[in-house]
């Protein structure tokens, strides 16, 4: 954790105020993830799930900010676009609506971010739409702290999941994999199979991880 903080902080040296603010936000996010990893929220799973939602929203905002920066450059290749100002603008303007309360509330140069009120409103709607569809998959497969939490609070379910994942990657899963590829009409072509087989295995693994996540939450009377 110390190395992660130092790595984040090094990017803020001799930089503008907003760069420092964005790095500080990243440090707070890293601290919050570390607290979850270390078990501070194992007895407060409702809060833990809310932290997971916040991490999903930040990741979604990062993608939106990146696309906003790219669209500004496409519209005007000579435009002075600073990704830091763009991303920080979305974070600060959506801090309250998206409950990003661990990040800084203000930025210094909002006026040069090229992010409008309409952009912010569109981003909020996009994040909420993404969350409604993608958050379960994010929690089960992409938010690393959740695996650590599952291992502690549901060791039997976690152990069973590991066995299922090993089976899914082994020879005994080949029939299931062939069926999935056949349903997609993707068998018989060596190049296509070479591309699709790893993807299909990942899909099977994701289905297992999501099923176990819902099982663990269900036993605890929680849902997403």
The parent domain of residue 173 ranges over 154-219
Residue 32 in domain: yes
- Among 102, 136, 170, the domain boundary falls at 136
The answer on 116 and 24 residing in a single domain is yes
Query: Catalytic amino acids?
Result: 16
The answer on 161 and 132 residing in a single domain is no
Q: Is the CB of residue 196 less than 8 Å from the CB of residue 184?
A: yes
Instruction: Give CA separation, 129 vs 60, 122, 132, 134, 136, in Å.
Output: 10, 11, 5, 9, 13
Residue 68's CATH number: 1.20.58.360
The answer on 170 and 67 residing in a single domain is no
Residue 95 in domain: yes
User: Who has greater pLDDT, 200 or 72?
Assistant: 72
For residue 61, is pLDDT > 80?
yes
The DSSP result for 55-101, as a single string, is: HHHHHHHHHHHHHHHHHHHHH-TT----HHHHHHHHHHHTTTTTT-T
CA–CA gap between residue 153 and residue 194 (Å, rounded): 38
- DSSP 3-state of 48: helix
Residue 204 in domain: yes
Question: Using CA of residue 151, residue 154, residue 155, residue 157, what is the dihedral sign?
Answer: negative
The answer on 129 and 78 residing in a single domain is yes
The answer on 42 and 68 residing in a single domain is yes
Residue 197 in domain: yes
Q: Can you give the pLDDT at residue 103?
A: 95
Neighbouring C-beta atoms of residue 152, cutoff 10 Å:
10
Tell me how many domains the chain contains: 2
Phi-psi region of 126 (alpha: psi -120 to 50; beta: other; left: phi over 0): alpha
The answer on 114 and 192 residing in a single domain is no
Q: Can you give the pLDDT at residue 121?
A: 98
- Among 101, 136, 171, the domain boundary falls at 136
Q: Is the CB of residue 161 less than 8 Å from the CB of residue 209?
A: yes
pLDDT digits (tens, 9 = 90+) for 166-221: 887 775 456 666 666 677 665 555 555 556 666 777 888 899 999 999 999 999 99
């Amino acid at each position: 954790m110390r190395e992660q903080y130092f790595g984040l902080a090094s990017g803020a040296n001799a930089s503008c105020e907003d760069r420092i603010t964005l790095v500080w936000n990243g440090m707070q996010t890293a601290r919050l993830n570390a607290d979850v990893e270390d078990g501070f929220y194992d007895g407060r799973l409702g809060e833990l799930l809310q932290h997971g939602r916040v991490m999903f929203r930040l990741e979604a905002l990062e993608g939106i900010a990146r696309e906003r920066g790219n669209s500004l450059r496409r519209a005007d290749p000579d435009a002075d676009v600073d990704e830091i100002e763009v991303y920080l603008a979305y974070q600060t303007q959506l801090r309250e609506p998206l409950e990003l309360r661990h990040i800084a509330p203000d930025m210094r140069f909002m006026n040069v971010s090229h992010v409008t009120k309409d952009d912010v409103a569109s981003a909020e709607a996009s994040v909420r739409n993404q969350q409604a569809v993608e958050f379960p998959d994010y929690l089960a497969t992409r938010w690393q702290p959740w695996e650590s939490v599952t291992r502690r609070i549901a060791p039997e379910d976690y152990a069973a999941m590991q066995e299922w994942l090993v089976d899914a990657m082994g020879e005994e899963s080949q029939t299931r994999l062939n069926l999935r590829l056949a349903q997609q009409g993707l068998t018989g072509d060596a190049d296509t199979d070479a591309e699709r087989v790893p993807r299909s295995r990942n899909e099977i693994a994701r289905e297992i991880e999501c099923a176990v996540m819902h099982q663990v939450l269900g036993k605890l009377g929680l849902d997403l």
